[in-house]
Amino acid sequence: MAKTAGAPLSISRQTLQRLPLYLEFLRKYKEDGNVNVSSAVMASALALHPVQVRKDVASVSTVDGNPRIGFGLDTLINDIEDFLGYNNVTEAVLVGAGNLGIALLSYKTFETCGIQIIAAFDSDKSKIGLSVHGKEILDSAKITDMCRRFNVHIGIITVPAEQAQMVCDCMRAGGVLAIWNFAPVKLAVPENVIVHNENLTASLSALSSMLRQRKSHNK
């Protein structure tokens, strides 16, 4: 049954982070020949609480689930893809063609998520003009012009910390409104610019600390 239209629900960051996990599971579940899925099945497969999964799904689904059979897979997959913007290609640029930057340029799954990295930039003259997986590495001096001309709104920063703010400013000048920042530094941006910081060192340190605590607890 279709839902009654109403005020849009507020989606938490935690829910947004879980939605791609649901989508990956649902696609594989469909490949196995299933046509319906319940929140209980999803929760069990992903080691999550059924109530949490039910709330997350309800926040993006256009139809109410059937109490006996759950949700139709095709509809639920399409609803999540639409909500996440997977059906609308969003172009992005990447600055910093080092090992991490090249690894991200090589990651094909971004395109299945509706994100297309159209160009990479670097200040290293030896890298400018090279092609990485079909994407040309351009001079960093062209960041602002490129973003403005192609109406790019997403920027990915994989440069050293001391260069990150300058790169951020160039992206902002070109109209970028959302930045995925891998540099270990806090960027100064206006309120209308979204920044998601991805500190790999901090994440690995936290994981190591949790492992030590678990080992200590199990002694």
**219 domain-assigned:** no
Clarify whether residues 155 and 119 are in a common domain: yes
Element (H, E) at 144: helix 143-149
**114 domain-assigned:** yes
Clarify whether residues 60 and 99 are in a common domain: no
Clarify whether residues 71 and 109 are in a common domain: no
**3-class SS shares of the chain: helix, strand, coil, % to 5:** 45, 20, 35
State the total domains in the chain.
Answer: 2
As a whole number of angstroms, the longest Cα–Cα distance in the chain is 62
- From the list 102, 93, 86, the residue with the least C-alpha distance to 175 is 93
Contact 153, 175 (CB under 8 A): yes
* 57 CB-contact burial (10 Å; exposed 0-12 / middle 13-18 / buried 19+): buried
pLDDT digits (tens, 9 = 90+) for 76-101: 999 998 888 777 678 999 999 999 99
86, HSE (Cβ side, Cα atoms, 13 Å): 17
Last residue of a domain, one of 84, 114, 141: 84
The residues facing 72 across adjacent strands are 36
Q: How far is CA 37 from CA 61, 68, 132, 182, in A?
A: 13, 10, 40, 36
Would you say the pTM of this structure is higher than 0.85? no
Clarify whether residues 31 and 109 are in a common domain: no
Clarify whether residues 114 and 51 are in a common domain: no
pLDDT digits (tens, 9 = 90+) for 10-66: 678 789 889 989 999 999 999 999 999 999 999 999 999 999 999 999 999 988 888
CATH of residue 114: 3.40.50.720
Provide the residue range defining the domain that includes 187.
90-202
